[in-house]
Amino acid sequence: MSRRPRLRLGAVVAATAALAALLVPAASAAAHGRPAGHPGPLPPAPKTAVLDGERLQAAKVRLELGDPGVRKAVKNLTAQADDWLGQGPWTVVDKPAPAPGGDPHDYLSQAPYWWPSQPKTDDNPHGCPYVQRDGERNPEVDTGTDRPDVGKVFASSYTLSLAWYYTGKKQYAEHAADILRTWFLDPDTRMNPNLNHGQFIPCKYDGRSIGIIDFSQEYTSVVDAVAVLGTGAPGWSKADRTAMTAWNKDFLSWLVDSDFGKEEGAAENNHGTFYDMQVAALAYATGDRDLARSTVLDARRKRIDAQVAGDGSQPQELARTRSWHYSTFDLVAYTRLAEIGRHVGVDLWGYRGPDGQSLFKAVDFLLPAATGAAGWPYPELEFYRYAASDIVHAAADAGDAAARAAVPHLQEPPGGDLWALRPASEQLDSIAG
């Protein structure tokens, strides 16, 4: 399969000849000061870890020049941001009872696929012992823990920060800042930078290493939201930036040095991939480029060689009851890790394993189902075709000709296609766990 070199601003945003003409001056903005037709200085490019700040900058320029495709995407983005304006902030100390350690500032979540096996009685209030039912989410996990609220923190801060960047409306930035300060920074409401009590199982475990995925699957969005706000957002001060960097450094140290972190880093399925992505993003964002680079480099052998077969399938994810979800889920981590790699000089997309494994092959394996050309022949409790849309966009941008041809046939996710504004994969059919 032919691979063409990746365009710096992405083929996906060059929908028309007129738009393509804008990409050249935008890419050379550093040399010429501003692109042709742009009325003033360029907006700042955020120093993001996963997102490409220069692509955000170029999208903002196209918005200011009236590009209709970007304007449509911004309309979808601000509709989501407006919904968040009336919600939050949230805090880890609001749960009805603290985590098993007794500190209300410790994060707590419950294992999503574990269910009581006995009737709940006064003598056995939890219905223990709990048994696993893979892919079936126990609704208990949404009551009495921090998992639902932290998901709102991640999604809202990311959406609101981007909405501010593209529109300049200060209410978006101020609310994002309030949400982040409340959850991470204010002494009375902040979360401790650990996940010692993630995905506990009643009567069995007070916390588990795999609870780290509660954060690793989405926290890089917060890392990038902070970088976007750092371009001069109202309500997000230098003191906030300094305190958030300190929190992230402490959290990174816990991830790298704790027993739970080491166990999660040794995981051989999507948990390990997401762990690497989170460590690399935090390392890059806090100035440890060596750790970021080594983490991406090690992922070639440790993750791609071990997890992706020569035909592009991911055997461990295909064995799940939600095989489509987990196949796309793992590739969200890989494609984001590849973007971090670009910042530190590692081409993860270009890597080929000893059996021909590659990220391109892994995405191409999903294309028949992603485009609707064929059904998905593996177990899946809830199939959503749009779950693959972002990862196909990412592969197309990276030079995959088959993915590029598939883009027009993708199913638009709920809330619209936001790829032109935030070109980084998200799990569009998100389930917790």
Residue 42 — very low, low, confident or very high, per pLDDT cuts 50/70/90? confident
Mean pLDDT within 39-63: 93
pLDDT given at position 35: 56
How many CB atoms are located within 10 Å of the residue 271 CB?
A: 21
CA angle, 224 as apex, 221 and 225 as ends, to 5°? Answer: 85
DSSP state of 132: E
pLDDT given at position 12: 34
From residue 48, give the alpha-carbon distance in Å to each of 15, 141, 319: 25, 32, 35
The answer on pLDDT for 11 being more than 70 is no
pLDDT given at position 387: 97
Residue 104: both structure tokens together: 């209300």
Residue 148 preceded by cis peptide, ω within 30: no
Whole-number Å distance between alpha carbons of 143 and 140: 5
| Mean pLDDT, all residues of the chain | 91
Quick: pLDDT tens for 170-187.
999 999 999 999 999 999
Residue 411: phi and psi, rounded to 5, are -85, 130
Residue 137 — very low, low, confident or very high, per pLDDT cuts 50/70/90? confident
From residue 32, give the alpha-carbon distance in Å to each of 26, 38, 42, 66, 380: 9, 12, 10, 21, 52
The answer on pLDDT for 340 being more than 50 is yes
pLDDT given at position 10: 39
Residue 318 — very low, low, confident or very high, per pLDDT cuts 50/70/90? very high
Lowest mean pLDDT across 26-30, 336-340, 363-367: 26-30
pLDDT given at position 29: 39
Whole-number Å distance between alpha carbons of 49 and 291: 13
